[in-house]
C-alpha cells in the first residue's frame, strides 16, 4: 500500500511536470553544470516536490523488498534515493546564500518545513530502519569495503540519533520540534541578511573621511552613487566596507556608530529582532536532546566528532583563552598608551581596537596594511592559490568562458590533473552584494560519486565578500582577505579531490577545517609571496623589506584574534550545554557568559548572539572546530616544513590520506595515516605566540 501510494503521488507529479523546468531534463551544459541561465524562481518548488516524491518511490521499493536486507539492496539503494532532491537543493540553497531575493526567501520558508518533514519521514520509517539495522548486525557476512562499513555504521547511528528507537508519541513530538527548528533557523538567517543590508552610514561631509585611504573613499563613493546618492559616501556593516573604516577613520564617533550597528544586528526590538528566535532555537534543541536521551544538544553533536564530549572541547578552549588573555591585555595597554600620548582622555573601547591596533602595527613593525594592498590584487592572489596547488598536486586551472554562471560576477575554471584528465569545475564569486549573505564559504553544486561504475565529477563553488574594484584600481585585498581566499580554496581542493563512491558521507567536523586552515600557512612563505604578491601597477614582486615586516609582525594582534574566537566558541558551547527545560534571555545570557570566562571589556566575541549564523546553521555546538582543526593544521604543516613546503611525498600523502578520504573513514585514523602519530599542540602554541 505504501509503495502504491508513493507511485500514485509521483505519477500525479509527473503528469504536471513543466517540460520547461530545467530540473526535469538532462543538463546539456559544459561538464553538466547547472543551467543557471535557464533556472527561474518558479522552477524550485515543483522540482523539490518531485524530488521528494521520487525518493518516496525508492524508499517504498526498499521497504517492500521481500529479499533479506543487504548493503546493495538497502544501503546503496537508499544512498541514491534522493538524487533529484539533492540536485535541486544544491542549486537552491547555494542561490539563497549567494544570490537571494524576496521570492527565494519566501520559498525558503515554504521549502524548509517540507524538507524537514521528509527527513523525519525517512529517519522515522520503522521498516526502513529495521532493514538497515539488519544489515548492520550482519555486516560480517558481507565483504564490505572500508568506505561501505563506515557509511553503514554512520547511517545506522544517524537513524538512532534522530529518533528511530523512540515510541510513536515521542516521534510525533520530535517531528514537531524539527518542523519548528526548520522555520526558525531560516528566519534567523534571513533577518541577519536584512539587518546587514538595512544599515548604511551615509557621509556627506568630506571632512568626516579624514584618515581613510583613497581606495576606501573611492569604493564608498561608488556605493553611494549606486544608491542614487552621488556626491556622498556610504559605508555598510559588510566587513570589506566596515573594517577599513574602523582601521583608518579619525572620526571616533562615526567609528562607534558603524561598529554598534554591526554589533546590534538582530537586536533592535523590531521585526528583524532575533532574540526570541534564538531563545526558541536553544530551548527546542535542548528539549530535543532530552527527548532523544542525551543530556544536552552539545552531547548529540559531539558524539560523532573527534572531540567526543563537551568537556574535551571546553578544556581546549579554556586553555587557549587563558593563554591569550594576558597577551590581549598587553596589546590593550600598549594601545591605551598611544591614546594618552596623543592627548586622549578616554578609555579604549571595542570600536577603537582596529584604529589603535593599526597605529600599534606602524609603531612596532613599521608596517601599514595599505603598504601591502597594492601587492595583493584579487586576480594575483587567486592565481597564487592556483600556483600553490599546482606545485603541491600538479593540478591546473583553466578559465571557462562559455558556461552558465550562478551570478554575472562569478568566474568558472576547469580543474585538471597533471596528465590533463578532468578533475572538476570550480566557480569563484568574490564581491559583496545585497543578495549575498556575509562572510566567505565553500559549497558545491555536485559532489563526487561513482554511479553504476561511472565517475561523477564535482562542481565546487567558493564565495566571498572582498572589496570590489574601485575607479581604475583592481580589487585590492588586505592580508586577512588573502588568508580568507586561501582558506576557502583549501575547502575547494578537498571537494575537488574527494574520492567517495557514495553521497552519504559523514565528516567529523573537527577535521573539516583542516584542509582550509592548512592552506593559510603557505600565504606568507617568502617563496610563495614571490609567486603572487606583485604590484598591480608595476608588476614588481613584493620587496624583501615588506616580506621581513610581514614575518616580524606574525604575532601582531594575536591576543585579540585568539580571544575573540575563543569567546565566540565558548558562547556557542554555553548555549548548547544547557539542560532542558531552558528559558534564556540571549542578551543577559551572553553578558553573564562573557563575565564568567573573564572577557575583557575592550573585546567583543567574534560573533554576538543575534547574528551568530554559525551557531544556527550547521556549526551549532561546533564553532570550536576552527580551533580544534588549528591544532591539526599547525601540526600537519610541520610535516611539510620538515621536508620542504612543496615536498611531493608529503603533498601526495596529504592528498591521499586526508583530502581524498574526507567523510569516508574515521577522522582520527585519517590523520594518523598521514602524520604517523597523533597531533601535538605545540606547533599551534608556537605559531600563535601563546607558548
DSSP codes, 385-421: HHHHHHHHH--EEEE--SS--SSTT-EEEEEE-TTS-
CB-CB contact of 41 with 99 (8 Å): no
- Residues with a catalytic annotation lie at 488
Residue 3 and residue 308: Cα distance in Å, rounded?
Answer: 40
> Do 444 and 526 have their domain in common?
yes
Residue-level length of the chain: 691
Pick from 315, 327, 188, 277: which is nearest to 573 by CA?
315
CB-CB contact of 274 with 610 (8 Å): yes
> Do 155 and 218 have their domain in common?
no
CB-CB contact of 478 with 373 (8 Å): yes
Burial zone of 98 (CB within 10 Å; 0-12 exposed, 13-18 middle, 19+ buried): buried
Buried-exposed string 530-541: b where 16+ CB fall within 10 A, e elsewhere: ebbbbebeeeee
Burial zone of 339 (CB within 10 Å; 0-12 exposed, 13-18 middle, 19+ buried): middle
Q: Specify the pLDDT at position 504.
A: 84
> Do 31 and 115 have their domain in common?
yes
> Do 150 and 206 have their domain in common?
no
In a domain, 7, yes or no: yes
Residue after which a domain boundary falls, among 533, 552, 571: 552
CB-CB contact of 201 with 235 (8 Å): yes
pLDDT at 265 over 90: yes
pLDDT in tens, 611-660: 999 999 889 999 999 999 999 999 999 999 999 999 999 999 999 999 99
Cell of 425: 569545475
> Do 203 and 156 have their domain in common?
no
> Do 31 and 98 have their domain in common?
yes
pLDDT at 5 over 80: no
3-state secondary structure of 337: helix
CB-CB contact of 208 with 254 (8 Å): yes
Cell of 487: 582558506
> Do 13 and 125 have their domain in common?
yes
First-residue to last-residue Cα distance in the chain: 66
Beta strands in 458-584 (DSSP E): 459-463
**Average pLDDT score over the chain:** 95
Pick from 356, 326, 264: which is nearest to 562 by CA?
326
Neighbours of 353 (CB within 10 A): 24
In a domain, 570, yes or no: no
Q: DSSP label at 571?
A: H
Residue 1 and residue 248: Cα distance in Å, rounded?
Answer: 69
Cell of 22: 530545467
As a whole number, mean pLDDT of residues 515-523 equals 98
Greater pLDDT, 11 or 66: 66
Cell of 60: 517504498
pLDDT in tens, 280-323: 999 999 999 999 999 999 999 999 999 999 999 999 999 999 99
CB-CB contact of 470 with 265 (8 Å): no
CB-CB contact of 523 with 483 (8 Å): yes
Q: Specify the pLDDT at position 6.
A: 34
Residue 372 and residue 46: Cα distance in Å, rounded?
Answer: 50
In a domain, 30, yes or no: yes
Q: How far is CA 253 from its chain centroid?
A: 33
pTM of the model: 0.94
Q: What is the CATH number of the domain that holds 63?
A: 1.10.1370.40
> Do 383 and 507 have their domain in common?
yes
Burial zone of 454 (CB within 10 Å; 0-12 exposed, 13-18 middle, 19+ buried): exposed
Q: Specify the pLDDT at position 91.
A: 98
Domain membership of residue 257 as a residue range: 199-263
In a domain, 480, yes or no: yes
Strand order in the sheet with 411-416: 396-399, 411-416, 422-429, 459-463, 441-446
CB-CB contact of 61 with 126 (8 Å): no
Residue 77 and residue 294: Cα distance in Å, rounded?
Answer: 31
Cell of 62: 526498499
In a domain, 400, yes or no: yes
Residue after which a domain boundary falls, among 552, 571, 589: 552
CA-derived radius of gyration, the chain:
26
> Do 39 and 135 have their domain in common?
yes
pLDDT at 3 over 70: no
In a domain, 644, yes or no: no
Phi, then psi, of 230 in degrees rounded to 5: -60, 140
> Do 149 and 254 have their domain in common?
no
**Poorest-confidence range of 135-139, 392-396, 465-469, 603-607?**
465-469
In a domain, 640, yes or no: no
Pick from 120, 131, 352: which is nearest to 247 by CA?
352
pLDDT at 8 over 80: no
> Do 488 and 537 have their domain in common?
yes
Taking the CA atoms of 573, 576, 579 and 581 in sequence, report the sign of the dihedral they define. positive
> Which whole-number Å values give the CA distances from 378 to 245, 466, 482, in the listed order?
20, 9, 8
Q: Specify the pLDDT at position 7.
A: 32
Q: Which residues pair with 280 in a beta bridge?
A: none
As a whole number, mean pLDDT of residues 406-428 equals 98
In a domain, 354, yes or no: no
Instruction: Specify the number of domains making up the chain.
Output: 3
Cell of 65: 523488498
Q: Specify the pLDDT at position 369.
A: 86
Taking the CA atoms of 436, 442, 444 and 445 in sequence, report the sign of the dihedral they define. positive
Residue after which a domain boundary falls, among 165, 182, 211: 165
Q: Specify the pLDDT at position 542.
A: 97
Q: Specify the pLDDT at position 1.
A: 28
> Which whole-number Å values give the CA distances from 94 to 91, 329, 604, in the listed order?
5, 41, 30
pLDDT at 16 over 70: no
> Do 105 and 37 have their domain in common?
yes
Amino acid at each position: 500500500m505504501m509503495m502504491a501510494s508513493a507511485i500514485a503521488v509521483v505519477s500525479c507529479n509527473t503528469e504536471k511536470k513543466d517540460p520547461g523546468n530545467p530540473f526535469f531534463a538532462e543538463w546539456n551544459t559544459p561538464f553538466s553544470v547547472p543551467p543557471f541561465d535557464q533556472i527561474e524562481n518558479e522552477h524550485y518548488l515543483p522540482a523539490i516536490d518531485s524530488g521528494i516524491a521520487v525518493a518516496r518511490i525508492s524508499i517504498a521499493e526498499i521497504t517492500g523488498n521481500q529479499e533479506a536486507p543487504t548493503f546493495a539492496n538497502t544501503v546503496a539503494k537508499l544512498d541514491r534515493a534522493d538524487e533529484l532532491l539533492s540536485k535541486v537543493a544544491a542549486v537552491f540553497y547555494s542561490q539563497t546564500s549567494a544570490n537571494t531575493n524576496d521570492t527565494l526567501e519566501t520559498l525558503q520558508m515554504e521549502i524548509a518545513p517540507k524538507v524537514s518533514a521528509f527527513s523525519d519521514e525517512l529517519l522515522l520509517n520503522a521498516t526502513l530502519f529495521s532493514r538497515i539495522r539488519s544489515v548492520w548486525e550482519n555486516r560480517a557476512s558481507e565483504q564490505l569495503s572500508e568506505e561501505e562499513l563506515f557509511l553503514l555504521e554512520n547511517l545506522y547511528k544517524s537513524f538512532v540519533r534522530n529518533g528511530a528507537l523512540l515510541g510513536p508519541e515521542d516521534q510525533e513530538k520530535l517531528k514537531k520540534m524539527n518542523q519548528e527548528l526548520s522555520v526558525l533557523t531560516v528566519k534567523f538567517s534571513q533577518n541577519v541578511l536584512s539587518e546587514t543590508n538595512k544599515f548604511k552610514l551615509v557621509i556627506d561631509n568630506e571632512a568626516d573621511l579624514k584618515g581613510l585611504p583613497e581606495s576606501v573613499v573611492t569604493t564608498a563613493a561608488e556605493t553611494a552613487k549606486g544608491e542614487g546618492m552621488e556626491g556622498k559616501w556610504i559605508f555598510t556593516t559588510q566587513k570589506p566596507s566596515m573594517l577599513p573604516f574602523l582601521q583608518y577613520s579619525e572620526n571616533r564617533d562615526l567609528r562607534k556608530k558603524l561598529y554598534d550597528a554591526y554589533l546590534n544586528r538582530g537586536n533592535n526590538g523590531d521585526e528583524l529582532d532575533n532574540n526570541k528566535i534564538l531563545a526558541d532555537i536553544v530551548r527546542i534543541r535542548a528539549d530535543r536532546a532530552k527527548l532523544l536521551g542525551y543530556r544536552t544538544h552539545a552531547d548529540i553533536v559531539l558524539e560523532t566528532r573527534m572531540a567526543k564530549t563537551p568537556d574535551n572541547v571546553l578544556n581546549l578552549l579554556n586553555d587557549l583563552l587563558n593563554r591569550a588573555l594576558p597577551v590581549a591585555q598587553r596589546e590593550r595597554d600598549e594601545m591605551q598608551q598611544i591614546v594618552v600620548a596623543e592627548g586622549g582622555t578616554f578609555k579604549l573601547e571595542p570600536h577603537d581596537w582596529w584604529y589603535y591596533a593599526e597605529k600599534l602595527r606602524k609603531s612596532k613593525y613599521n608596517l601599514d596594511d595599505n603598504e601591502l594592498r597594492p601587492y595583493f590584487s584579487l586576480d594575483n592572489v587567486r592565481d597564487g592559490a592556483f600556483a600553490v596547488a599546482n606545485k603541491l598536486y600538479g593540478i591546473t586551472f583553466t578559465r571557462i568562458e562559455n558556461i552558465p554562471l550562478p551570478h554575472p560576477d562569478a568566474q568558472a575554471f576547469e580543474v585538471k590533473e597533471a596528465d590533463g584528465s578532468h578533475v572538476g569545475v570550480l566557480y569563484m564569486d568574490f564581491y559583496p552584494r545585497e543578495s549575498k549573505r556575509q562572510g566567505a564559504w565553500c559549497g558545491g553544486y555536485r559532489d563526487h560519486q561513482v554511479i553504476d561504475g561511472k565517475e561523477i565529477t564535482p562542481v565546487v563553488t567558493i564565495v566571498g565578500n572582498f572589496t570590489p574594484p574601485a575607479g581604475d584600481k583592481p580589487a585590492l585585498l588586505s592580508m586577512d582577505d588573502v588568508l580568507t581566499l586561501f582558506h576557502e580554496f583549501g575547502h575547494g581542493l578537498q571537494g575537488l579531490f574527494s574520492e567517495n563512491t557514495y553521497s552519504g558521507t559523514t565528516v567529523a567536523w573537527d577535521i573539516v577545517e583542516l584542509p582550509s586552515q592548512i592552506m593559510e600557512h603557505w600565504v606568507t612563505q617568502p617563496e610563495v609571496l614571490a609567486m603572487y604578491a606583485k604590484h598591480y601597477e608595476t608588476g614588481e614582486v613584493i620587496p624583501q623589506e615588506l616580506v621581513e615586516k610581514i614575518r616580524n609582525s606574525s604575532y601582531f594582534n594575536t591576543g585579540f584574534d585568539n580571544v575573540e574566537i575563543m569567546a565566540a566558541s565558548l558562547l556557542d558551547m554555553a548555549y548548547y550545554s544547557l539542560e532542558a527545560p531552558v528559558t534564556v534571555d540571549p542578551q543577559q545570557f551572553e553578558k553573564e557568559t562573557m563575565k564568567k570566562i573573564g572577557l575583557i571589556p575592550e573585546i567583543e566575541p567574534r560573533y554576538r548572539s543575534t547574528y551568530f549564523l554559525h551557531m544556527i546553521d550547521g556549526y551549532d555546538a561546533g564553532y570550536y572546530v576552527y580551533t580544534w582543526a588549528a591544532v591539526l593544521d599547525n601540526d600537519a604543516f610541520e610535516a611539510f616544513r620538515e621536508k620542504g613546503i612543496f615536498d611531493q611525498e608529503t603533498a601526495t600523502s596529504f592528498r591521499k590520506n586526508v583530502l581524498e578520504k574526507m567523510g569516508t573513514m574515521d577522522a582520527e585514523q585519517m590523520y594518523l595515516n598521514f602524520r604517523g602519530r597523533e597531533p601535538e599542540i605545540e606547533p599551534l602554541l608556537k605559531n600563535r605566540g601563546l607558548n
